[in-house]
């Protein structure tokens, strides 16, 4: 079945976005996050956790060689394989374990964009898109001034606070919660809107 050219272009854009240095992670780290997100589907520990009454009942190490710290690997795997059972206490533990909240938001963005690409490939019955080689460079480390705690797990930019460099963040109209949840890292919102 042929795929529309605009969808092919969007997928190429998203893969390029994943390999490019982000706001808080390098291109190499972002590709490693995507690699972990893809590998989580085959991880024995993740399958055991998902089958357990409580995700904390299954212990062990995630499958595969890892270049990222274990706490980052665990966060990616949990987000990718068992998101319905993530809780505020789990999130607080992730942050207390040393993962900065803005890095967490970017990690969620990369993981979920890859999930969308992989689900698309599966729906079409084709192999997942190969992950690209990372681009060199340093993260921008831009923290938007309008991001504030609003009672959610992470600081967000309210539509009325999207000014200056973030003025075009939401594009007007209804703002989905996932967009607001990623707004601490505006580039992830822009990629998702693509």
Instruction: Indicate the pairing of strand 156-157 with strand 147-148.
Output: antiparallel
Domain that holds residue 179: 142-194
Residue 130 confidence (pLDDT): 95
Task: Report pLDDT for 56.
Answer: 87
* Residues 83 and 176 occupy one common structural domain: no
Residues 77 and 167 in one domain: no
Q: What is the pLDDT of residue 52?
A: 92
Chunked into runs of 10 residues, the chain (194 residues) has average pLDDT values of: 85 96 99 97 95 90 94 97 96 97 98 95 91 98 94 93 93 87 96 86
pTM assigned to the model: 0.94
Query: 131 and 174 share a domain?
Result: no
Note the pLDDT of residue 150: 85
Tally of domains within the chain: 2
Residue 79 sits in a domain of what CATH number?
1.20.1290
């Amino acid at each position: 079945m042929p795929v529309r050219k605009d969808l092919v272009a969007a997928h190429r854009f998203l893969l390029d976005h994943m390999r490019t240095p982000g706001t808080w992670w390098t291109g190499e780290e972002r590709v490693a996050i995507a690699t972990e997100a893809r590998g989580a589907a085959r991880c024995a520990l993740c399958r055991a956790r998902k089958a357990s009454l409580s995700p904390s009942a299954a212990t062990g190490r995630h499958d595969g060689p890892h270049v990222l710290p274990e706490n980052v690997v665990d966060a990616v795997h949990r987000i990718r394989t068992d998101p319905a059972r993530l809780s505020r206490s789990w999130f607080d533990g992730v942050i207390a374990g040393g993962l900065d909240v803005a890095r967490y938001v970017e990690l969620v963005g990369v993981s979920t964009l890859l999930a969308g690409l992989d689900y698309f490939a599966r729906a079409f019955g084709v192999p997942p898109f190969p992950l690209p080689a990372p681009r060199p460079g340093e993260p921008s480390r831009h923290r938007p001034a309008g991001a504030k705690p609003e009672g959610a797990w992470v600081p967000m930019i309210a539509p009325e606070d999207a000014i200056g460099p973030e003025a075009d963040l939401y594009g007007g109209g209804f703002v989905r919660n996932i967009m607001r949840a990623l707004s601490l890292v505006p580039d992830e919102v822009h990629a998702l809107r693509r």
